[in-house]
Chain A
Amino acid sequence: MNVELTVNGSTHRLDVEPRTSLADALRDGLKLTGTTLGCEHGVCGSCTVLVDGTAIRSCLVLAVQADGADVRTVEGLAGDGGPHPLQEAFAAEHALQCGFCTPGFLMLLAGALAEEPDLDHDERRMDEVLASNLCRCTGYAGIRRAAARAARRMRGDVAPGSRS
């Protein structure tokens, strides 16, 4: 079946089987392998991408379902001006070790912070969002700090490059 996906701003036409997940279409069809597949059944969240602005598990959505949708992956996070505030914050706060889960966390937080820019003000809610995805290296403390750091930066609470 033919589908049209707008991924990180550019439109692609793909011929996919109905059973192809959005994750597989991104990875195998468009060679956007930044989106990683861990469990392939909705548990780990490493394949999280934004579909029409909302963070979802791309292993639990068929590519044909995303026909006409606006998809954003980790490859589209950094702009011309360099890394996204989330990416900078993850590096600064040591929010990753092996890095396999990182694209999922970045997109999870990109979606969550777009919906709730003050997410870091509500610890319970932040933990609930972060608990969506699995990280087996960091123990989450660094991810939590990075999320708060990025949230402050994205609100403009601190100037880029300054210590926060």
Chain B
Amino acid sequence: MPGMRDMKPPQFDYVAPASVPEAVAVLAERGPESRVLAGGQSLLIELRYRTERPALVVDVNRIPGLSDIAVEDGSVHIGALVRHAQLEHARFGDPLAELFRQVAPYVAHPPIRARGTFAGSLAWAHPASEWCALAMALDAGIELDGPSGRRTVPAGSWFRGAFTTACLPEELVTGVRLPRPPAGAVVAFAEHRRTHGSFALAAALVMLRVSEGRVAWIRIGLANAADIPLRAVEAEHLMMGERPEPDLRAQAAARAAAEADPADEPHAPAAYRRHALATLVRRCLARAVENAGTP
């Protein structure tokens, strides 16, 4: 069949290092011509499209110790090989676990979620990625290991553009540290997409804590609202210290949409996507406030 061969990946060398130092040594030597393979649910597609043509694929799946979700005092640490499905079934009692469970079903399908990784989503940096929006909203720390040692990049300076991050070719993402929302925080997530399996046309997530009837802490994250994930800081600012009444929530939602910079897409002009974002944020705020009750 003509064109059929084009669905096969180009040739590459393959190495499966047994440890992070081994992987880093490989990347130090051949980083610029390499791609790291974790879940592979995006990389293998790009290889098949031949939009990625690495000379070397560095498979990190054989490295032990990268598959754990560690719940610590102030943060949750997600190893580089933690699959979407692990987050979908996260059962630690925390608002963050609740958010994982709400968001995960929107990430592809169960067989993809069994392989694809949270950290890989952040490394891939698709503008519509829900996990990237979550990382941005919480200002996650992306942990890297490289020839010049370890460093942590805050989400705010991680995303440099669509599919572009601060990761150097010689560096390996080893994990992500997510600060935990304060105790008593509630979460909500909403997404608009054309079909069940489509990428988000727009998505919003809200985490907030209400104390004595007023917003004491709030984070708003937006996916596919720009070429990078956004945290709607101005909208958060509007809500902080105020009573989260419907009028204010509508104002904040409108402000969040104004902070967005969506591109025109064939199925969704920018104005439509902005409208969708405002609606999604408003719904998330309403649901979160409802869940918060009236403490």
Contacts and interface: CB of A to CB of B under 8 A. Distances in A.
Partners in one complex: yes
Interface of A: 1, 17-19, 21, 24, 40-43, 45, 48, 54-57, 59-62, 64-65, 108, 111-112, 128-129, 131-133
Interface in B7-22: 7-14, 16
B238 interface: no
B153 to A, nearest CB: 28
14 contacts: A19-B8, A40-B7, A43-B197, A55-B110, A55-B111, A55-B114, A57-B112, A60-B44, A60-B45, A60-B115, A62-B40, A62-B44, A111-B111, A129-B110
Given A42-B41, A56-B115, A57-B111, A62 B197 contact: no
B8 A64 contact: no
Interface string B105-127: 10001111011000000000000
B47 interface: yes
Q: Name the interface size band of chain B.
A: 20 to 34
A21 B47 CA distance: 11
Which 9 A/B pairs are nearest by Cβ-Cβ distance? A18-B14, A132-B109, A40-B7, A19-B9, A60-B44, A41-B45, A55-B111, A54-B114, A56-B111
B13 A18 contact: yes
Contacts of B14: 1, 18, 62, 64
Given A19-B8, A41-B7, A61-B44, 17 more contacts: A19-B9, A42-B41, A55-B110, A55-B111, A56-B114, A61-B40, A62-B37, A62-B40, A64-B16, A65-B61, A108-B111, A128-B105, A128-B110, A129-B110, A131-B109, A131-B196, A132-B112
Interface of B: 7-14, 16, 37, 40-41, 44-45, 47-49, 57, 59, 61, 105, 109-112, 114-115, 196-197
Label chain A's interface by main secondary structure: mixed
Contact of B10 (A19, A41, A45): A19
Contacts of B37: 62, 65
B236 to A, nearest CB: 32
